[in-house]
Amino acid sequence: MLNLGVIGCGSIGRDHVERLTTTVAGGRVAGVFDVVPEACRKAVADFGLDAEIFASAEAMIDSPKIDALVVCSKNDVHLAPLLHAIKIGKNVLTEKPLTTSAAESRQVVEAELAVGRRFVQVGFNRRFDRGYLQLKAIADSGQIGALLLANCRHYNAAPATSYYRTDDVILDTFIHEIDVMHWLFGENYASIEMKLGRRNSLNPAPDLDEPQLAIIELASGALITVEININCQYGYDIQCRLVGERGIASLPDVATPEVRLDGRIYHAIDPSWTSRFVDAYNSEFLAFIHATVDKTPLAGPSAWDGYVASIAGEAAVTSLHERRKVDIVIPDKPALYA
């Protein structure tokens, strides 16, 4: 049984504590830390945890009672625990994004390269989703030919938090497509251009500019467009369509029952990512736990993938603010991440 220490017991941290306690085998929550101690006490009480509440992330990472870490703290404070865990040789599953800047993400990569092994798996959960895995198999099989275009939609009913701002739309939401499309296409990005759409009058936050439209150009000339709309009101709607030379492959909609009622036929849409990607979250944890227990290389999205996403994310933020197309330059991938 892998003893996990969870850093950050807010919304996604609580979700992960719950899945580790009720669903995912092979690991248990043995320690928790949050800058708000009450969040730890609540998680321990709500999920009946037999876990130590630590006074600091450092103390938990250092503790011999903790085998590996799960980072669910705010996006801009991921770096310190990641570097600390790598330094003392413990694996970490960190929520996305790896960090909020390319320079910080590069530090994580450098820390792994210095030791010569991977310690970090990034929570880009799409890579464990059944539908995306099917798309990847179709793309890699060559059956629809080389990929020419892709269109994605990332719609949230409402922003994730009351303090969600314009850059979060890129670095917290769109970052998923930045990673998963890089993986699906298997080639590097060349440039990105972000556009702001007409403001939704139902958007409650004054400094949250969206919807946004991304146009990504790949090294081969292929183009990806992504609509990010986080005030769509009607549900959590994730779509992706790959256009190849001979055919098209689209992400299947999540199967929900067809309901015939009150003169209508309809399928329910997931309300949020928690339910939409529940299986993917469970699978990413299982993969992390098995690799850590078996001492085999981590197989999920790596610190390098997180770094690439940070480079592209930063370019997207620059593009949005400066209203211009921005080049994306990805360095050569080190052998460790081959």
Please report, as ranges, the residues that interact with ligand ISE according to CB under 6 A.
Answer: 156, 160, 172-173, 176, 230, 273
Task: Please give the residue whose beta carbon sits closest to ligand ISE in the complex.
Answer: 160
Pick between residue 160 and residue 215 the one whose CB is nearest to ligand ISE. 160
3-state secondary structure of 296: coil
Pick between residue 250 and residue 274 the one whose CB is nearest to ligand ISE. 274
For residue 300, the minimal CB distance to ligand ISE (Å) is: 15
User: CA separation (Å) from 338 to 49, 71, 118, 129?
Assistant: 38, 25, 11, 22
Pick between residue 147 and residue 312 the one whose CB is nearest to ligand ISE. 312
For residue 95, the minimal CB distance to ligand ISE (Å) is: 7
Q: What tokens were used for 167?
A: 């850059």
Beta-bridged to residue 68, according to DSSP, are 4
Beta-bridged to residue 29, according to DSSP, are 4
* Distance between CA atoms of residues 196 and 228, nearest Å: 10
Reported in sequence order, the residue ranges of the chain that DSSP labels E, i.e. its strands, are 2-7, 27-33, 52-53, 68-71, 92-94, 120-122, 147-155, 189-196, 212-218, 223-229, 237-244, 248-250, 258-261, 264-267, 326-327
Pick between residue 156 and residue 231 the one whose CB is nearest to ligand ISE. 156
Peptide bond connecting 211 to the previous residue in cis, omega within 30 degrees of 0: yes
Pick between residue 148 and residue 278 the one whose CB is nearest to ligand ISE. 278
Say if CB 172 and CB 210 are below 8 A apart: no
Pick between residue 17 and residue 230 the one whose CB is nearest to ligand ISE. 230
* Dihedral over alpha carbons 140, 143, 144, 148 (to 10 degrees): 40
Q: What tokens were used for 206?
A: 């004054």
Pick between residue 104 and residue 172 the one whose CB is nearest to ligand ISE. 172
Say if CB 171 and CB 315 are below 8 A apart: no
For residue 27, the minimal CB distance to ligand ISE (Å) is: 21
**Numbers of helices and strands, H then E, in the chain:** 11, 15
Pick between residue 78 and residue 84 the one whose CB is nearest to ligand ISE. 78
* Distance between CA atoms of residues 317 and 325, nearest Å: 11
For residue 308, the minimal CB distance to ligand ISE (Å) is: 18
* Distance between CA atoms of residues 315 and 319, nearest Å: 6
User: CA separation (Å) from 77 to 7, 74, 82, 101?
Assistant: 10, 6, 9, 11
Beta-bridged to residue 4, according to DSSP, are 29, 68
Beta-bridged to residue 261, according to DSSP, are 264
For residue 159, the minimal CB distance to ligand ISE (Å) is: 7
Pick between residue 163 and residue 266 the one whose CB is nearest to ligand ISE. 163
